[in-house]
Amino acid sequence: MFNRIWKKLAFALLVVTFVPIYFFGYQDLQNEESKLANEALREIFLNVVTRAKEIERAFINTTVDINLLRSSIALEFLLDMPPKDSVGVEYWRKIVEEEFVRFLSLKHGYSRIGLIDDYGDEVVVVFRSGKQILPVKKSQKRNRLTSPYYVGAARQDKYGIAAIPLRNSLHYNQDIRRISLVRNATKVFNSKGKPRGVIYIDLNGSEIFQGLAWTSLERKRQAALVTNKGNYIFNPFAESDSSLPPKHLPGSILEEYSELVLEQILSGSPGMMSDDPDYLFAYNPVFLQAGDRSEFYVVLDRYSRAEFAPKLSGIKKKYAIGALGALLLAITVSIIVSRTLTRHINKLRQGVERFGEHEFSHRIQINSKDEIESLARAYNQMAGSLQEYSESLEKKVEERSKRVEQVERQLIQAEKLAAIGFLGAGVAHEINNPVSIIITRLELVQKAVIKGDMTNVIKDVEVLKNHAARIGRITGDLLTFSRQSSSDLSAVDLNEIVRRVIGLIEHPIRKKGISLTIDLEPHAPKIKANSTGMEQVIYNITHNAYQATGPGGEITLVTRLNGAGDMDLVIRDTGEGISEESLNRVFEPFYSTKEVGQGTGLGLSISYGLVKDFGGSIEVQSEPGVGTSFTVTLACAGAGRVNDNRRVAKTNA
């Protein structure tokens, strides 16, 4: 019987194991290759789009800069000067030349600036030579009336700009950073709006190189730049063809790729291509001038399919090992199961399944007089013990949850009572002032009554009422602060809570020599929170700022409605700051960087728990020696909850 069961199990396990392995292995190889291709296409397309945007930004900046040069006051004065006034012309020409030199010294992405009059003669030309910026001597100036850039600028409308490529191709050994690539030229006008010549500026390849070759951890790939004729301007792929001598390296993509690939790359539209058997391609055109599609460059990246082979071989190896392991496992399992299979196994299996479904009251009845029966009795004993333990555990969990909530409330109230002790001096000062005034006024009232001067009595009584109301307000704020927090949330005025807490803590802050700045959002919407809990959050953070800030420092409280429609409360100080190690633990219970006796380590932990209960988030940024900033974000009343309860700590090293 064992032999028959073993054969059946072995055959079934082999079929069940190897058929899925073969099928899914083939499917995985196909899917993985497709996945790798798609990931590679996404990677290189994102690369060319990003780099094309940077090059396009360089072209846009060139347009902005040439317009800035054209609007120069000195240039306008030069263009307004009559040709007969040689002294005035030379004076303003020098001023313009100095402006051009100063501009090139600030803008390292340009190599040359020139001004040509309406007869085509060069008036001012400055250029970059190494680290120097030099003007072209008068003897070296030429007439540029027939130059393509002069003609192109003259054909433009009033403020049109002609962009002329200066290079059709670059050899692999040529440094793109030292070569002028594009010349932008446009007409210039005098103060009466009459065209008086052309100004041009040359963009060198350093800006383009930065956009193509700069790499980082996020951007690991470079990209090539070709003209709309297919000639290379920058070719990083030549490094992969390093086996070829430089003179045999391709100078154009026309020498490398098929007509189908070239047609897509040079089409003037962005895209991806995976039809080539050797490479995947991504390309994005960059037009020299918006609206002019006649002249453009193409940012190109390619991904070799040969790079897929190591990753695919890993999958093949994985499935080969899996198949061998499955063979051994099938044989082993079939032998073990065949030897141990009995009629009582099903009962045990059913009992275990019901046990897994938490049916601890289920019992197995087996009378086999062997180990299986002992196993069944052990199972029944375990089920009975777990049933009792589960019932008692549920009760304990419920009891301890209530105890934890009670202790948490007691801790919060204890923190409040500790805060009241700190606030006592400030409150006493705030009360003593109006009490002194009341005593003085009462003496004046007594004298006025004796004299029968009721007019002054009425005035003094009004003063007494105001100061008595002030005392009532101060004691009321202290009473509100000391009240035990409720878990109920409601719409509360954040600005009013800030004013109330600051009214209690302002005196010790200012007495310590710390300046206090309050900047509250006008007409701020109410937030969804608990008033007394929010008071404790503000007090805890502000009190920490007070302890960390020395005389001459500053504490700032700001409320703002952020872009997400939530309210932000920012509490900043210029204190000693928090180290990076401590910053990651500031919200932990009982963690404190203060000296023994100066803090319990519960303030920020309680604040974090309260903000979390309000559905908000709290974030801290700190730089040792500079200060600390806490940002509490809370949803406005009637709005949804703010993202997740962030507990973020950032440090600025």
H helix or E strand, kind and range, residue 347: helix 345-356
CA quadruple 37, 41, 47, 50: dihedral sign: negative
According to the model, what pLDDT value does residue 182 have?
93
pLDDT of residue 255: 87
Domain boundaries, the chain: 40-53+220-309, 55-209, 487-651
Q: Write out pLDDT tens, residues 33-44.
A: 788 889 889 999
pTM reported for the whole predicted model: 0.47
Report the mean per-residue pLDDT for the chain.
Answer: 79
| Under 8 Å between Cβ of 7 and 331 | no
Q: Which residue has the higher pLDDT, 554 or 386?
A: 554
Give yes or no for residue 246 having a pLDDT over 60.
no
Going by the DSSP 8-state scheme, the letter that residue 408 receives in this structure is: H
- Helix boundaries (H) for 250-301: 259-265
CATH topology of domain 40-53+220-309: Beta-Lactamase (3.30.450)
pLDDT at 557 over 80: yes
Domain 55-209 belongs to what topology?
A: Beta-Lactamase (3.30.450)
Taking the C-alpha atoms of residue 544 and residue 505, their distance in angstroms, rounded to an integer, is 12
pLDDT above 90 (res 68): yes
The amino acid at 315: I
Same fold, 40-53+220-309 and 55-209: yes
What residues contact 97, with CB distance under 8 A and at least 6 apart? 124, 126, 135
Quote the pLDDT of residue 536. Answer: 83
Contact 125, 114 (CB under 8 A): yes
pLDDT at residue 189 is higher than 70: yes
Q: Report helix angle 73-80 to 86-106, nearest 10.
A: 160
Phi, psi dihedrals of residue 207, rounded to the nearest 5°: -65, -40
Query: Which fold, 487-651?
Result: Heat Shock Protein 90 (3.30.565)
Report whether 404 contacts 529 (CB < 8 A): no
The stretch 450-459 carries a mean pLDDT of: 68
CA–CA dist 337, 335 (Å, integer): 6
What is the band of 551 on the pLDDT scale with cuts at 50, 70, 90? very high
pLDDT band, residue 638 (cuts 50/70/90): confident
Burial pattern 441-469, b for ≥16 Cβ within 10 A else e, equals beebbeebeeeeeeeebeebeebbeebee
Report yes or no: 582 and 652 within 8 Å, Cβ to Cβ: no
What does the pLDDT average to over 319-328? 71
Provide the pLDDT for residue 299: 94
Query: What pLDDT does residue 634 have?
Result: 94
Say how far residue 190 (Cα) sits from the centre of its chain. Answer: 48
Q: What is the rounded distance in angstroms from the CA atom of residue 286 to the CA atom of residue 211?
A: 12
Four-CA torsion 313, 314, 319, 324, nearest 10 degrees: 100
Q: Please write the tens of the pLDDT for every residue from 482-518.
A: 555 556 788 999 999 999 888 878 888 888 899 999 9
pLDDT of residue 594: 64
**Which pLDDT band, with edges at 50, 70 and 90, does 475 fall under?**
low
When comparing pLDDT for 574 and 246, which is higher? Answer: 574
Q: What is the band of 227 on the pLDDT scale with cuts at 50, 70, 90?
A: very high
Say yes or no to pLDDT of 601 above 90: no
Q: How many CB atoms lie within 10 A of CB 536?
A: 22
Neighbours of 21 (CB within 10 A): 17
Out of 305-309, 422-426, 549-553, 578-582, the most confident range is: 549-553
Residues in the chain: 653
Q: How confident is the model at residue 357 (pLDDT cuts 50, 70, 90)?
A: low
pLDDT band at 569 (very low <50, low <70, confident <90, very high): very high
CA 570 to chain centre: 19
Given its phi and psi angles, is residue 526 left (phi above 0), alpha (psi -120 to 50 degrees) or beta? beta
What is the residue-wise DSSP string for 409-421? Answer: HHHHHHHHHHHHH
Cβ-contact 340, 12 below 8 angstroms? no
Radius of gyration of the chain (CA): 41
Rounded CA-CA distance 391/374 in Å is: 26
State yes or no: pLDDT of 129 exceeds 70: yes
By CB neighbour count within 10 A (0-12 exposed, 13-18 middle, 19+ buried), where does 301 fall?
buried
DSSP class per residue in 158-186: TT-EEEEES-S---TTS-GGGSEEEEEEE
The confidence band for 150, taking pLDDT boundaries of 50, 70 and 90, is very high
Task: Give start and end residues of each alpha helix (H) in 572-636.
Answer: 580-583, 603-613
| Dist. CA 323–CA 312, nearest whole Å | 17
Structure tokens at 434: 């109006």
Residue 373 exposure: Cα atoms within 13 Å on the Cβ side: 5
Q: Which two tokens stand for residue 594?
A: 């203060």
- 10 Å CB burial of residue 616 (0-12, 13-18, 19+) is buried
Task: Select from 358, 365, 367 the least CA-distant residue to 380.
Answer: 365
Q: Residue 1's pLDDT band (boundaries 50, 70, 90)?
A: very low
As a whole number of angstroms, the distance between CA 165 and CA 226 comes to 12
Burial of 255 (0-12, 13-18, 19+ CB in 10 A): exposed
Which residue from 484, 470, 473 is spatially nearest to 420, judged by alpha carbons?
484
Band (pLDDT 50/70/90 cuts) for residue 263 is very high
Residue carrying structure tokens 């003085």: 440
Poorest-pLDDT segment among 147-151, 517-521, 608-612: 608-612
**How far apart are alpha carbons 163 and 142 in whole angstroms?**
21
CB 495 within 8 A of CB 559: yes
Choice among 40-54, 90-104, 169-183, 469-483 with the minimum mean pLDDT: 469-483
pLDDT greater than 50 at residue 251: yes
Tokens of 17: 């194991």
Residue 53: band (very low, low, confident or very high) from pLDDT cuts 50, 70, 90:
very high
pLDDT over 80 (residue 399): no
pLDDT tens-digit series, residues 525-548:
999 998 888 888 898 899 889 888
> What one-character-per-residue DSSP string does 36-78 give?
HHHHHHHHHHHHHHHHHHHHHHHHHHHHHHHHHHHT-HHHHHH
User: CA separation (Å) from 550 to 36, 289, 510, 553, 576?
Assistant: 59, 58, 11, 6, 8
Q: What pLDDT score was predicted for residue 42? A: 92
**What is the 8-class DSSP label of residue 625?**
T
Structure tokens at 482: 């000391």
Rounded Cα gap, residues 135 and 544, in angstroms = 62
Q: At residue 649, does pLDDT exceed 50?
A: no
The pLDDT, as a whole number, for residue 286 is: 93
Distance CA 629, CA 583 (A): 12
**Percent of the chain surpassing pLDDT 90:** 35
pLDDT at position 256:
87
Of 328-337, 384-393, 638-647, the range with the highest mean pLDDT is: 384-393
Q: What is the pLDDT of residue 651?
A: 42
Q: What is the pLDDT of residue 374?
A: 73
The residue among 498, 504, 519, 453 whose CA lies nearest residue 634 is 498
Neighbours of 579 (CB within 10 A): 12
Average pLDDT of the residues in 52-81: 93
Alpha helices in 483-530 (DSSP H): 494-511
